[in-house]
Chain A
Amino acid sequence: MKSTILPIRSVIRICCLLMPALLAAQGLDPTNINKPLGSAEGWPTYGGDYSGKRFSSLKQLDRSTVKNLGLAWNTRLTAGSQTRRPGSAMITGGVGNMEATAAANVKGSILQVNGILYVSAPDNAWALDARDGHELWHYVWKTRGGTHIGNRGLAMWHNQLYMETPDDFLVCLDARTGKELWHKEIADFELQYFSTMAPIVIDNHLIIGTGNDLDEPGFIASLDPETGKEQWKFYTVPMKKGDPGLETWANLDAARHGGGNAWVPGSYDPETHLYIFGTGNPSPAYTTGTRGEGDNLFTCAVVAVNVETGKMAWWYQTSPHDTHDWDSAQTPVLIDAEFGGKMRKMVMQASRNGYFFTLDRLTGEHLVTGKFGEAVNWAKGINAKGQPVRDPAKDFHPAGSLVSSANQGATNWPPPAFNPATGLLYVPTQDSYAMYYLTELDPRGAMGLGGKEEVGLGTMRSYISAIDYKTGKTLWKHVYPALGGALGNGMLTTAGGLLFAGDVSGNIIGYDAANGKILWHAYLTNMVSNAPETYMLDGHQYLLVAAGDTVYSFMLH
């Protein structure tokens, strides 16, 4: 009789063959996101971990080995359901009849879980094999419209993936197959919301946020990740009588149309259960006839919300009564470090308005303000609370006012990075100017982004600012040689003493994080369009970055 017992070698071989599938089947345990980046496998959430530091403890790549970093593979992605890759599953969903048919543009974080990459662009999600980049599945959402400006990435909880769509749905996919499990409307499309934020999983909470350019209130909400049922909703502006901050608006109607959208994911402090995020500009963005002359709370602020209750713990406004559309949505970065002779728990933000802030993250107490946007000219000084004081003459003028920065700001959504060894926050920065023309003399002003027309004078220079969190001073800059250009993209830093960032000419560059010395680079087919990421896979440290429609994977050989 033939034995049915397999030889041990065969068992091992089968286990090895099945391992990727077994791992994929396990999905992502949400507790893994709590681990500092590099101490667990992969890149499981928007910032790699909750801190917003984008600092990996991996050291295989370091100042001496980075020169051996070489291309492992690259994969070009095509948006829409017209092109199906051989061997890949195509899944479609959605409530509309339009498809994104332009080239994909990856402008958000890419998740790496159990050797699978999860990539997104508006209305599109892909799963790629992290070892060679081949496409496993492609999901396409047929849209009813909305502003398709970008998608900042996906979230994952066990085997479920989540994507926000420009027409305001949260779509839940089976990460193993790309098949849709459910979708839920998260904002009112009739009110012209559009949704770009990468959702964030925190234990059994799924945090979502949306955007709007037409005078609607900003909010974040916590959903049950399994069903999408709402757990709580937090508005960033007063919505009823008695709400805090109402006294900073002309009236309740103004507050309820006051903006403050949550464009970019926040960071999370597991010890205090505080989700800390930045809010967008007040609405109308430029003319203030309806919103009054107050601070317009809680727009353009860093806000801490208890993730269990949805209640605000503290806030700090970085641009009181903003008049330039310079939202404070930039990633807050959480650090535990020495300050004033003792260890403190802090949060930093380099804001679009050109100013840097260090705060106590337990209380919101202001600690430091610095100016990193060198050309910025819209503020007259700093007040006692550390906030820049707006110069009304630099709002706009019927004959034009020369303002720096131009609309995009000194920095924008591309995430910064912080390296504990250097104590530096690395921020993509640009010096730009524009003429701001007032085009509405009606004292009631305009709605949305109206009332001002801006004609650009260009970017004078673009650079990386390396900012000391203790003083707010820029200790060094790397200025790109290009004569013009724009803002560079996001940052990654590592325990190997490295800083990675895309420049404004199409290079991905590796620097010495201590001094900005260039150690490695590669020229890509497009401008880098997201922040670089790193992880270990099969014993090799990888560097992953997107440039437009192409994902590039570099491996240390």
Chain B
Amino acid sequence: MMRTIPRILFAAILAALLFAVIALGQEAPFMASFPSHPKADAATVNRGKEAYKLNCAYCHGEDARGGENGGTNILRSDVVMKDQNGERLRAFLQNTGENGHVATREGVLKFNFTDAQAADLAAFMNDISAFIHDFRVSSRDPGRMRPPTILVGDAKAGERYFQAKCGSCHSATGDLKGIAGKITEPRTLQQTWLMPMVYGFRGFNPPADGPVKVAPPTVTVTMQNGQKLEGRLGRIDDFIVTMTLADGTPRTIHRDGDVPKVEVHDPMKPHKDLLPVYTDADIHNVTAYLATLK
């Protein structure tokens, strides 16, 4: 049994990764690099941190992302993004002109940092904003205050929903027995029960047996002479259907409109059909229920 757990997890992760690529329009970038700024030594960064706390944090917040006293997020400011060694920062803080710190908002201060102090501040800014400069289009500004759990639903309501909508195919004492012990990460559990298999381009490889049985799609082709061919579906488009017969023989059959008759049996169809039906509360409740099946 142990060896089956990674398989379903692998299938879920593979499905998620596959769709991540799909979501980008098959446009996973091969190169996404932006300028990195010079790294300063720890002593310089610490001096800059103290200068920041003393002079800036009141308005701009301890983390420089904006504060309750009206300061903006300065991690994304032009001055910080473009600064190398304090040269822009100092000019900005001292300048009372249109592009200076004083002009940005009434009541703000004009600072007279020395070159060295400005360089310390810039080093600190670059240090705390380092992740921005490594920002990639496929990544995200990482969550700092992440929700502690996704298990917020009502497990009893989820059980009732499960019995009503899922019970004809699945059972807590059958195929899903101990599912929460096999898929311990709640979000993976939720994604897995919502859609155990995500189809990709030009066919797919169904996951092997696991805690959640995922049957491959099959197809029945009725030839013009009445012969029926049945097997595992490979690829289907408007012109071709490929399949693997029970004895392992691969078959590719030409399609011309409705001839021959092709019937696809998609095991994910009940899952797909429910997507427009669920409320978010239904989903959270079912996940809360399944999470009890340890």
Contacts and interface: CB of A to CB of B under 8 A. Distances in A.
Contacts of B224: none
Given A214-B132, A447-B141, A507-B239, A397 B201 contact: no
A166 B23 CA distance: 20
A450 B268 CA distance: 31
Contacts of B239: 507, 521, 523
A293 interface: no
Nearest to A215: B76
A190 B82 contact: yes
A398 B150 CA distance: 6
Given A399-B284, A458-B199, A446 B143 contact: yes
Interface stretch (B49-57, B106-114, B188-196, B207-215): B188-196
Contacts of A450: 140-143
Given A408-B22, A450-B143, A457-B198, A192 B73 contact: no
Contact of B66 (A213, A399, A444, A484): A444
Given A191-B78, A393-B280, A400-B284, A457 B275 contact: yes
Contact of A482 (B150, B235, B268): B235
Nearest to A98: B31
B137 A149 contact: yes
Contacts of A435: 190-191, 194, 283
Interface string B230-271: 000101111110000000000000000100000010101000
Contacts of A144: 35
B253 to A, nearest CB: 13
A453 B140 contact: yes
Given A439-B146, A441-B146, A456 B72 contact: no
Interface in A89-147: 98, 100, 102, 107, 143-147
A481 B237 contact: yes
B43 interface: no
A440 interface: yes
A541 B239 CA distance: 25
Interface stretch (B13-21, B89-97, B160-168, B174-182): B13-21
B204 interface: yes
Nearest to B268: A483
A458 B25 contact: no
Given A214-B76, A290-B66, A447-B73, A147 B147 contact: no
A486 B201 contact: yes
Interface residues of A, number: 86
B272 interface: yes
A278 interface: no
A377 to B, nearest CB: 7
Given A451-B141, A457-B194, A482-B237, A398 B31 contact: no
B2 interface: no
| B-side interface size class | 35 or more
B135 interface: yes
Interface in A189-213: 189-192, 213
A7 to B, nearest CB: 55
B13 to A, nearest CB: 10
A257 B80 CA distance: 14
Contacts of A164: none
A506 interface: yes
A476 interface: no
Interface in A513-556: 518, 521, 523, 527, 529
Contacts of A487: 25
Contact of B26 (A98, A454, A527): A527
Interface string A474-511: 00000011111111000000000000000111110100
Given A377-B276, A485-B200, A527-B201, A146 B237 contact: no
B287 interface: yes
B1 interface: no
Given A107-B27, A507-B238, A449 B200 contact: no
Contacts of A15: none
A378 B35 CA distance: 36
Contacts of B29: 147-149
B169 interface: no
Contacts of B139: 449
A401 B280 contact: yes
Contacts of B34: 145-146, 189-190, 192
A505 B238 CA distance: 9
A400 B150 contact: yes
A284 to B, nearest CB: 8
B25 to A, nearest CB: 5
Contacts of A446: 140-141, 143
A437 B25 contact: no
B275 A503 contact: no
A133 B202 CA distance: 28
Nearest to B271: A457
Contacts of A253: 72-73, 104
Nearest to A506: B202
A34 interface: no
Given A481-B238, A484-B198, A505-B235, A404 B275 contact: yes
A301 to B, nearest CB: 22
B19 A444 contact: no
Contact of B275 (A188, A402, A438, A518): A402
B199 to A, nearest CB: 2
A485 B32 CA distance: 25
Given A433-B275, A453-B143, 8 more contacts: A375-B276, A399-B147, A439-B147, A456-B18, A456-B22, A486-B22, A505-B201, A523-B240
6 contacts: A191-B82, A399-B284, A407-B24, A453-B143, A480-B237, A484-B201
Q: Which 7 A-B pairs have the closest CB atoms?
A: A484-B199, A450-B141, A456-B19, A398-B147, A145-B33, A439-B143, A505-B237
Interface of A: 98, 100, 102, 107, 143-150, 166, 188-192, 213-215, 251, 253, 257, 284, 290, 375, 377, 393, 397-402, 404, 406-408, 412-413, 432-435, 437-442, 444, 446-460, 480-487, 503-507, 509, 518, 521, 523, 527, 529
